[in-house]
Amino acid sequence: MYQGNNNSRNRFGSRSNSSGRGYAPRRGGSSGSRGYGSKSTLDISRLINKVAITEEVEVYVAEHAFADFEVDQRLKQNIIDKGYITPTPIQDKVITHILKDEDVVGIANTGTGKTAAFVIPLIDKILKNPKERVLIMAPTRELAIQIDEELKTFARRLGIHSVVCVGGAPIGRQIASLRHVNHFVIGTPGRLKDLIERRVLNLSAFGTVVLDEADRMLDMGFINDMRYIIALMKKERHTLFFSATLSSTIEILIKDFLKSPVRISVKTQDTSKDVHQDVIRLKPGQNKLDILHDLLKQEDFSRVLVFGRTKHGVERLAEMLSKRGLRAESIHGNKNHNGRQRALEAFKNNRAQVLVATDVAARGLDISDISHVINFDLPTTYEDYIHRIGRTGRAGKKGKALSFVE
């Protein structure tokens, strides 16, 4: 366990600050500093996982290679060009069922390759029937954009078109794009509903729908929008439902939206064994920002995602880190679409070492090689904690998650 002390410099080399300036915790407050919200009630013992896994771990043996899937040869060539050879477990188990037009419920942890698991067979579906239309719903604009980016790499040179419809982006451009033929419409429920009500998006010809991160859409209050949108599609439809968790509400949705679905679960535990979890204990008078700064100066903190609780706090923290000479960007709900995309691109392309984010803004982010996730402010729920630390330790790589606590 990382622990600070009352010496002039703690184990990270940061000077303690008994004056309480900057980000030192307030008396009677949480480990979060001013502007960062209320105290979390998480069980701190669940945030520590330092036990080395020394026993042999059974390696998943795929039943298929990508070359085995019965898809269009042009699509198969694009898969080869991307360097895909052996599918991940969710891809291995799901693709054949989607190719058979079966409804699917896929339960999988984040970072398991589920986007390709539905994108590949749906592209093949369009190639076999160019009149088919696919709607993909995602909880956040970032996830919708990422789905579209992956779709485009697999659909290269195949004459397949898509449009992203998300809030925070100019609606006029989206309306203009919808006037053209789009085989895929990818969007967030709120913006999709807005476009439907403006009579520029007609779903009556759409026979396939993907609900990605359905549990997050429920958490964000999109249940009524989801029901409204799906009711406007073809009555006989092909429905794919992906979620990291199952709840009684999700089971109701599955019963309402899907017909005799195939259930595929590759989720084995809440947190990946590839993520080393620990906490940073703060004592009265220690400056939280100093400790974070000294962590980020260490060489192995190469690409770091820092979570705060509020939009104002996240923006302020990014500014403070930048003033200290760190390459930091922020992403939160108050930042416009272009600003969020610029911050993400800087982080992805190593122009920024640190991305400071709120939970909602970071939903579904798929950025490779994140070395550390730091919970500057603890999340309210354990589910949010699991989502946060799932941004590192992806695709078999190792990652670290650190949480500030008092």
* Contacts (Cβ under 8 Å, ≥6 apart) of 252: none
Helix (H) or strand (E) holding 178: helix 171-178
Give DSSP secondary structure letters for 210-221.
EETTHHHHHHTT
Q: Indicate the residue among 265, 286, 306 that finishes a domain.
A: 265
- 326 in Cβ contact with 355 (< 8 Å): no
Inside any domain, residue 54 = no
What is the domain extent for residue 380?
A: 2-49+271-405
Kindly report the CATH number assigned to the domain that includes residue 74.
3.40.50.300
The answer to whether residues 44 and 73 belong to one domain is no
Same domain, residue pair 29 and 140: no
Same domain, 255 and 276: no
Q: Across the beta sheet with 134-137, what order do the strands follow?
A: 162-165, 184-187, 134-137, 208-211, 238-243, 104-107, 262-265
Q: What is the DSSP letter of 40?
A: P
Could you give phi then psi for residue 229, rounded to 5 degrees?
A: -70, -50
Work out the burial of residue 88: count CB atoms within 10 Å of its CB; fewer than 13 is exposed, 13-18 middle, 19 or more buried.
buried
Average pLDDT by stretches of 10, the chain with 406 residues: 41 36 36 42 62 42 89 96 92 96 88 90 97 95 92 96 93 95 96 96 97 88 94 96 85 91 77 79 87 94 94 95 95 86 90 90 73 91 80 80 88
User: What is the tally of structural domains in the chain?
Assistant: 2
- Looking at the structure, tell me whether residues 93 and 207 fall in a common domain: yes
216 and 277 fall within a common domain: no
The pLDDT, as a whole number, for residue 267 is: 63
225 contact partners, CB below 8 Å, separation of at least 6: 189, 190, 192, 193
Domain boundary among 241, 265, 289: 265
